[in-house]
Chain A
Amino acid sequence: MRSEAFYRKQEVLGRRRRALDQGFRVLGMVLTLGTLGVLGILLLNLAVHGLSRIDWQFLTSFPSRRAGEAGILSAWVGTLLLMLVTAGVAVPFGLAAGIYLEEYAPKNRWTDFIEINIANLAGVPSILYGLMALGLFVYQFHFGQSLLSGGLALACLVLPIVIVATRESLRTIPSSIREAAFALGATRWQAVWHHLLPYSTGGIATGVILAMSRAIGESAPLITIGALTFIAFLPPAPLISQPPFVSFDWLFSPFTALPIQMFNWVSRPGEEFQSNAAAAGLILIGITLSMNATAILLRRRAQRNIVW
């Protein structure tokens, strides 16, 4: 038989526990809203300064000394082409490395070492990739201060992200699926090509998009290799009228990119250039957010379509 004092004590304790619970709930909510609030204020600030600046003229003009006539044509084209180079290099290399490490490589000290270092690479400050690209691609390989050098630098930067995403999506496929394919006489390559890759496309695509949205906002490595801040021309077109109809001259063209254009405008005096910077920033954030949204959608779809 428990005394009345016992129950009274339990009641007090219970009230205290509930208060603590409630307290944490409120604290968590405040902190979450606070974080979101900072982001919201940032967006709002950019929008107030830049939104009115975004129009057709802004998207189709080259930079100019007169803020009102300046635009981001060379910047967004540069960013687009950079992403093309980055994806073109990081996706095949990242996929190949991820597939090799997950499906082919023996598990020993060597592969453990490689694994740890891939994780480390993901944490290397981006400016170091810029320095490496400057030494290797610009000076050693004579690629120049070009789209190719910039794209390669960004590809190195995001390669670990692609590798890790590839490995993680391959790892979610149960080994019973691999054995089913092997038991029918598939080679490792056939198992990868017919089964593992198709079943992990969603996850890999998500990783690639997240990697690209990381690369698109990078400016440090591009500044290091010497991306120009004032480009009043477009790189040569990749499609030409004479055979073979494709040209790779654009790879060796000097370039600028959105974050660099923004950096340039921010560092200038004058209210008008500031609103140009805000407008460019808004567009950059818009691109990044829509890439992330696509990644989330892709992941959802992939999860819905494949059940083990």
Chain B
Amino acid sequence: MKTASQPSSLSGKEFVPSEAEVAAKVQIRGLNFFYGNHQVLRAVTMDVPALQVTALIGPSGCGKTTLLRCLNRMHDLYPGNRYEGSIHVQPDGTDILGAGVDPIQVRMRFGMVFQKPNPFPKSIYENVAYGLRLQGVNQRRELDERVEKALREAALWDEAKSRLHQMAHNLSGGQQQRLCIARAIATDPDVVLFDEPTSALDPIATSKIEELIVELKKRVTVMIVTHNLQQAGRISDMTAFMYLGELIELGETNRMFTNPTKPQTEDYISGRFG
């Protein structure tokens, strides 16, 4: 689906998005979300630009993780959850909340990396290969190639290549999180969703993950929930500020941090609450 972007990312040159590619990858329109009778998201409307990093910030309980988990329909796994509105994914424009859309298909297009590294208690290789196997890739050679590619893109290949068939839990926390990233990108998803991916990691492991995310946007659209404003400032192109289930403001990260238009955004960014 992102074949148009791949040649430029392989060239190694500084990536300049063409006009078509800065277009919205995901269009969220009037999204309401309910846990039972409790409304958590209120009329969220936003565009997520293709091949950029969009950060979701806001105080605890503002709905940013809930919003992220709407995108891969994770809420469907638990009873009593309800969506209203639409989320269109380009280029095909499918409404992933639409009737008849299989959440499983949605999850194959939206990779996810969780707060705490959660590798399967299997080998490094099998962790990365699992998503591919789910999509019907069974040929040993193709699996080998794509596992290697994903591990390279997750900057884990050099550390892992000699022990691909050892248990993933022998890796350090930061390595495990990079393994989870490799697992999420191995299937070439359209979008990768990061849910506070560095909150359980030390500063060195964190900076590696951040570099990786910036590198990733050459070929995949990234959304990241973060509690760490500096992190949003360092790695994101766009920042969305949420408060009490509403999207207060969305804009280029530089402008959001220097010149926010809404007073709540300014209060949050300047540390007056949070």
Complex Cα spacing A162 to B153, Å: 45
Interface residues of B in 108-160 (CB under 8 A from A): 108, 111-112, 114, 116, 118-121, 130-131, 134-135
Q: Does B248 contact A (CB under 8 A)?
A: no
B104 touches A187 (CB 8 A): yes
Q: Does A306 contact B (CB under 8 A)?
A: yes
In the complex, residue of chain B having the shortest beta-carbon distance to the beta carbon of A308 = B121
**Which listed residue, A106, A177, A185, touches B131 by the CB 8 Å rule?**
A185
Knowing A177-B118, A307-B169, A308-B121 are in contact, say whether A182-B77 is a contact too (CB < 8 A): yes
Complex Cα spacing A195 to B27, Å: 34
* B104: A residues at CB distance < 8 A: 185-187
Knowing A176-B114, A307-B169 are in contact, say whether A182-B120 is a contact too (CB < 8 A): no
**Which listed residue, A107, A177, A190, touches B120 by the CB 8 Å rule?**
A177
* A106: B residues at CB distance < 8 A: 79
B169 touches A184 (CB 8 A): no
Q: Does A76 contact B (CB under 8 A)?
A: no
Q: Does A183 contact B (CB under 8 A)?
A: yes
> Closest CB-CB distance, B245 to chain A, in whole Å?
22
Q: Does A194 contact B (CB under 8 A)?
A: yes
Q: Count B interface residues, CB 8 Å.
A: 25
Complex Cα spacing A34 to B184, Å: 58
Interface residues of A in 155-184 (CB under 8 A from B): 174, 176-184
A194 touches B114 (CB 8 A): no
Q: Does A199 contact B (CB under 8 A)?
A: yes
* B62: A residues at CB distance < 8 A: none
B112 touches A183 (CB 8 A): yes
Complex Cα spacing A194 to B111, Å: 19
Kindly supply a per-residue 1/0 record for chain A positions 76-113, scoring 1 wherever the CB is within 8 Å of any chain B CB and 0 otherwise.
00000000000000000000000000000011000000
Knowing A185-B134, A185-B135 are in contact, say whether A180-B120 is a contact too (CB < 8 A): yes
Q: Does B105 contact A (CB under 8 A)?
A: yes
A107 touches B121 (CB 8 A): no
Interface-central residue, A177, A180, A181, A190, by most chain B CB under 10 Å: A180
**Which listed residue, A176, A177, A186, A305, touches B134 by the CB 8 Å rule?**
A186
* A194: B residues at CB distance < 8 A: 130
Q: Does B25 contact A (CB under 8 A)?
A: no
> Closest CB-CB distance, A76 to chain B, in whole Å?
39
Complex Cα spacing A190 to B136, Å: 13
Complex Cα spacing A181 to B107, Å: 10
Q: Does B209 contact A (CB under 8 A)?
A: no
Complex Cα spacing A181 to B72, Å: 13
* B187: A residues at CB distance < 8 A: 184-185
Q: Does B180 contact A (CB under 8 A)?
A: yes
In the complex, residue of chain B having the shortest beta-carbon distance to the beta carbon of A180 = B118
Complex Cα spacing A187 to B134, Å: 9
* B131: A residues at CB distance < 8 A: 184-185
Complex Cα spacing A182 to B121, Å: 16
Q: Does B205 contact A (CB under 8 A)?
A: no
> Closest CB-CB distance, A287 to chain B, in whole Å?
33
Complex Cα spacing A190 to B104, Å: 11
B116 touches A185 (CB 8 A): no
Kindly supply a per-residue 1/0 record for chain A positions 295-308, scoring 1 wherever the CB is within 8 Å of any chain B CB and 0 otherwise.
00000000001111
Interface residues of B in 13-67 (CB under 8 A from A): none
Q: Does B74 contact A (CB under 8 A)?
A: yes
A180 touches B114 (CB 8 A): yes
Knowing A183-B112, A185-B131, A186-B134 are in contact, say whether A176-B121 is a contact too (CB < 8 A): no
6 of the cross-chain contacts (CB-CB < 8 Å) are A106-B79, A176-B118, A180-B183, A184-B134, A184-B187, A186-B134
Q: Which 7 residue pairs are nearest across A and B when measured between Cβ atoms?
A: A176-B118, A185-B108, A184-B131, A183-B112, A185-B107, A180-B118, A306-B121
* New contact pairs (15) apart from A184-B131, A199-B121, CB-CB < 8 Å: A107-B79, A177-B120, A178-B77, A179-B114, A179-B118, A180-B118, A183-B111, A183-B112, A183-B114, A184-B107, A185-B134, A186-B134, A194-B130, A307-B169, A308-B121
